[in-house]
Structure 1
Amino acid sequence: MLSKELAQNIVNKMMEVIPYNVNIMNNEGFIIGSGDLSRVGSLHEGALDALRTKETAEVFEDYEYTKAGVNTPIFFRNKVVGVIGITGLPDVVRPFGQLVSVTAELLISQEYALNEHVIKQKLTEEFIYEWINNNIEYHEDFIQRGTSLGIDVKIERIIAVIQYEKDRYKEVNILINKILKDGEYSINISSNRIVVLLIYNKFTMKRIFGLEEKIQKLSVKIGIGRFNKIIMSSLIDGVKALNIGSKLYEGKNIYTYDSVKFFKNIELFLNEDKGKEVIEKILEEGKGMELLETFLVYMDMNGEKIKASNKIHIHRNTLNYRLDKIEEITGLKFDNYLELFQLITAYIGYKLSS
């Protein structure tokens, strides 16, 4: 309760405002903080009297183990935790006694409250780590532990995984605080990823997408998992959404699992080597990247050539030439749905494995 560090800190503060030496003794009467450092560690008989009677003990003469002064018990929650002494003639230093003891008790209370807060933060963080890594149904003991920390694990939630650039950590934390509501939490899972546990309701996605402009400015990428009673499942979804979405949708910053689950299934069955081979054939051409970008715009415009040519500011004939060139290189035809699908999956496989 009354550490040497805290005792010396109190002494230093007191001696800034009163012109007398101040000592602080622990609940055994030993000096643990003093304006005269040579006295630290020595027994203080005046403190022993104050501890025994729980009242102020005044010493009028100097003795071997104590000096003249006023020694007042320090109370915390109705318990004596130490003694604070002011060296000097009692008639002179007595007026400072009550002031000094009250100030010491206030500082001890503040320190205790801060320590309680730090301990609760640590326990909460440890609980959340356990929570997001728990893949079984929550047992009653686990639920009660959460309740004791003010966390209701039975509330429906989803997880968002936020990836950021390390030098923008402070800005990202400000953004996260704008997203979080009461009963929602965030925790770091790596040097550049933060997991956010959000209450799941009809407004949740609106909150995130409502900050899309700020998310883009910070170059933040967010993967959002599906609702699941076991929050770890939502975390897995969020990580997949982030990993796949950030590779396939380079112009976007927010990816939901539902928007990438189709590609996740493709990834499981796709022959990645074959996909690489098809895309690498395109890239080996002199303007291979230009061809590939044209293909992506064409697909983004749902195969509407006028919209695609307008999007990248080229003549429709130029668009047709590039698409024909892709067909020539790959041997896959755009008017054959199965072959077009092969080309799309080849690109997906290439991007996911790169």
Structure 2
Amino acid sequence: MLQLSGKQAQDIVDKMMQDIPYNINIMNEHGIIIGSGQKERIGTIHQGAVQALTTRKRIEVWQDSALAKMGTNEPIMIHNQYVAVVGISGHPDEVRPFSNIVSTTVSLLIEQRNQLESLAHEASRKQAFLERLLSHTGSYSQKIKKEAAPYKLDLQLPTVLLYIKSIQLNAVTNKMLLQLPSFSIQDDEDAHIVFIQNESELDAIVQRFRQEQPQASIAISRREASIAACYEQARSAMNILAALGSASRLIRYEDVRFLVRFSHADLTRHPNLVGKLEDTADLVDTLRSFIRHSGSMTATADELSIHRNTLQYRLKRIQTLTGKNPRDLLELIELTHGLLTFYQ
């Protein structure tokens, strides 16, 4: 139901009375004053408003009485529903033009408020549905299938999930997201997930996002019947991408299944091994590059644009802080596990 809150009504009254030299009252759909320049009247019945709501037309009072004061009372109708009455105290011929202005303002504000509330409600409902969907196990009930339909999602079809991070929203990207089953991630404001159920469209959609959002990172799940499984795959793959710092910004779960399982394995008594490098960004970047280049000093130094002696120094610092030598293959594997684990 369309409504104007007491606070909104009073805010409107206070602002309008800065420019209008007459007392303004705003009444709700029951004729009760909810905003007034005479605050002692708030909560009381306004007889002129009750009459305006009953007759569904403007009521003009031409003289003061015990029950009513001289002025105009304009009912406000939105979507064929009377939602409020605006009353202005004074001679009707003087206050009538102001009544039109205030009534129009109140109408616009009520519509705006309800549009915002509707959007907020839909966003909340969409987020709640997503949370249930991502934690759902087993087969889908008819209820959740019906809930998915408005989001252009058919839970009877296998799905590929894109986890897209570092999106910079613009008109083109917004249009793309609206055309597809997509959701924002509540705890990651620049991340979205997109569901693709027509596998033949996958490559084209990924390419479009890469062209429009070159700075974004994209993780792609396998094609699964379970949305929750797709999400877990794509999220885990995104964590691998963040850990290794790949320049490609595109990763497929299918290509890193071993690394995902490796990162989840409890293999060490030192779970925070790489965390010791957290405050030294150049050492973390050096370790990432050294891993990506399979321990090649030349390739790592070239990518980092540093001298080999500087690289040697950094590798020794990594060894000092972690107790693991990156130039030893087995210990580099331990460091790799520590890096992957740190980003899970």
> One fold, TM greater than 0.5?
yes
| Alpha-carbon shift at residue 133 of structure 1 (Å) | 1.8
CA distance in 2, matches of 1:142, 1:350: 39
| Aligned residue in 2 for 1:70 | 72
Return the match for 1:199 from 196, 210, 229: 196
Deviations along 1:211-251, one digit per CA (max 9) or x if unpaired, are 67524xxxxx5543222222111111112213334334555
Q: Which runs of 5+ in 1 are unaligned?
A: 165-170, 216-220, 275-289, 316-329, 335-339
| Aligned residue in 2 for 1:236 | 232
Q: Confirm or deny that 1:261 pairs with 2:257.
A: yes
Amino acid at match of 2:243: K
Matches within 5 A, 1:134-173: 134-147=136-149, 149-154=150-155, 157-161=159-163
Measured at CA, do residues 205 and 7 of structure 1 come closer, stay the same or move farther in structure 2, by a change above 3 Å? same
Matches within 5 A, 1:267-278: 272=268
Choose 83-92 or 247-256, whichever is displaced more.
Answer: 247-256
Task: Find the residue that maps to 1:137 and give its secondary structure.
Answer: coil
| Aligned residue in 2 for 1:41 | 43
The answer to whether the Cα contact below 8 Å between 1:157 and 1:197 also exists between their aligned partners in 2 is no
- The number of residue pairs the alignment matches comes to 305
| Aligned residue in 1 for 2:273 | none
Task: Find the residue that maps to 2:29 and give its secondary structure.
Answer: coil
CA distance in 2, matches of 1:309, 1:48: 82
Deviations along 1:139-182, one digit per CA (max 9) or x if unpaired, are 222121233x4442446643344566xxxxxx755697597352
Measured at CA, do residues 136 and 106 of structure 1 come closer, stay the same or move farther in structure 2, by a change above 3 Å? same
| Aligned residue in 1 for 2:116 | 114
Measured at CA, do residues 272 and 352 of structure 1 come closer, stay the same or move farther in structure 2, by a change above 3 Å? farther
| Aligned residue in 1 for 2:277 | none
CA distance in 2, matches of 1:139, 1:177: 31
Q: Confirm or deny that 1:247 pairs with 2:248.
A: no
Measured at CA, do residues 253 and 29 of structure 1 come closer, stay the same or move farther in structure 2, by a change above 3 Å? same
| Alpha-carbon shift at residue 60 of structure 1 (Å) | 2.1
Choose 200-209 or 342-351, whichever is displaced more.
Answer: 342-351
| Aligned residue in 2 for 1:326 | none
TM-score (norm 1): 0.67
| Alpha-carbon shift at residue 123 of structure 1 (Å) | 0.9
How large is the Cα RMSD of the aligned pairs? 4.4
| Aligned residue in 2 for 1:58 | 60
The answer to whether the Cα contact below 8 Å between 1:74 and 1:105 also exists between their aligned partners in 2 is yes
CA distance in 2, matches of 1:141, 1:310: 57
The answer to whether the Cα contact below 8 Å between 2:291 and 2:336 also exists between their aligned partners in 1 is no
Return the match for 1:180 from 168, 177, 181: 177
CA distance in 2, matches of 1:292, 1:97: 69
Q: Confirm or deny that 1:25 pairs with 2:27.
A: yes
Measured at CA, do residues 138 and 259 of structure 1 come closer, stay the same or move farther in structure 2, by a change above 3 Å? same
Matches within 5 A, 1:190-229: 190=187, 194-199=191-196, 201-210=202-211, 213-215=214-216, 222-229=218-225
| Alpha-carbon shift at residue 89 of structure 1 (Å) | 1.3
The answer to whether the Cα contact below 8 Å between 1:187 and 1:196 also exists between their aligned partners in 2 is yes
| Aligned residue in 2 for 1:125 | 127
The answer to whether the Cα contact below 8 Å between 2:53 and 2:82 also exists between their aligned partners in 1 is yes
Deviations along 1:24-70, one digit per CA (max 9) or x if unpaired, are 11233221112333332233222222223222222222234432111
TM-score (norm 2): 0.69
CA distance in 2, matches of 1:225, 1:82: 52
| Alpha-carbon shift at residue 15 of structure 1 (Å) | 3.5
Q: Quick one: percent identity of the two aligned structures?
A: 27
Measured at CA, do residues 69 and 248 of structure 1 come closer, stay the same or move farther in structure 2, by a change above 3 Å? closer
CA distance in 2, matches of 1:108, 1:295: 59
The answer to whether the Cα contact below 8 Å between 1:159 and 1:198 also exists between their aligned partners in 2 is yes
Q: Which runs of 5+ in 2 are unaligned?
A: 271-285, 309-323
CA distance in 2, matches of 1:59, 1:241: 72
The answer to whether the Cα contact below 8 Å between 1:198 and 1:204 also exists between their aligned partners in 2 is no
| Alpha-carbon shift at residue 129 of structure 1 (Å) | 1.6
Larger Rg: 1
